[in-house]
Amino acid sequence: MNATLAETTEHAFRTLGGLRFSKGHGTGNDFVLVADPEGGHTIAPEQVAALCDRHRGIGGDGLIRAVPSRFLPEGRELLAAAPDAEWFMDYRNGDGSLSEMCGNGVRVFVHFLRAEGLVDLPDGGALTIGTRAGIKTVVRTGDDYAVDMGPWEFIFPGEATAKAMDSLVTADGLEVPRPALSVSMGNPHTVVALAELSELAGTRLYSAPVVDPVPANGTNVEFVVPAEPLVHEGVGSITMRVHERGVGETQSCGTGACAAAVAIRHWAGAEAPDTWRVHVPGGVVGVKFFAGPGGQEHVELSGPAAIVASGTLS
């Protein structure tokens, strides 16, 4: 007989007894955080799901394990090119599945390393970390953090360039499928523009939107309303909701905010600005485009991070 959800969760917690954890968030995108400086914790997908369960667990959109890069094959590969990437952000979605990247999670991860005394990062200082989407550099700016998210790219570049759309998205609350643009920020996103805030509020994200065609590894789906006017004093402004793969609707998505700014800027044309303010249910994040190494355009994500609780599993 199959174990019930309650039994599975109870067993997962029993096997993790004594584990120290913290709870943190970046604009409402929340995470369970575990420090593993000796590389000794193996947290199985079902244990991640139990910890992130909002009714029977601690609750979170995902779990972040802070582990030295040398303990992971992916981390050792990155260290060969970036020896200063001592720490690796081992991130999993709330259902236990691996994720390449989380923009809000990166900021919370660095804030957690500081809170645990694992790094010393003065105001204005930079920290290089490893992720499954490559090396990321995080700069502390007072109580906030700015992250070089690296280059963006269209997932279906031919269609994006020729038609400014590459897929159709069907979602509960929208009467007809909507055209969308697929953007990679190291993880996949599909961005839909809506005309009104009332339409955004009426879109129901209890279940995953249907994307056709869907990127190979699934996708996060952002629904975005441009401000009116779109640009004020040189800064673009948009409002966004997101359904994250493996999680559901979240209060914020950092890589999603970047992807949304990429798409809206593309649709707005050559005169669109390089600096954006993205309003999400959990707050506001900043997105900025700049020329990276080799002339490739990079995206910077900025915003707050907070640790709200710490404890030990019984």
Residues with active-site annotation: 102, 253
Closest CA to 278 of 241, 233, 243: 241
263 touches 193 (CB < 8 A): yes
- CA–CA separation, 70 and 49 (whole Å): 26
161 touches 117 (CB < 8 A): no
305 touches 22 (CB < 8 A): no
Burial class (CB in 10 A: 0-12, 13-18, 19+), 107: buried
Q: Which of helix, strand or coil describes residue 214?
A: coil
- In the numeric block, which tokens belong to residue 66? 């802070």
**SS3 track for 50-118:** HHHCCCCCCCCCEEEEEEEHHHCHHHHHHHHHCCCCCEEEEEEECCCCECCCCHHHHHHHHHHHHHCCC
> DSSP secondary-structure letter at 216?
T
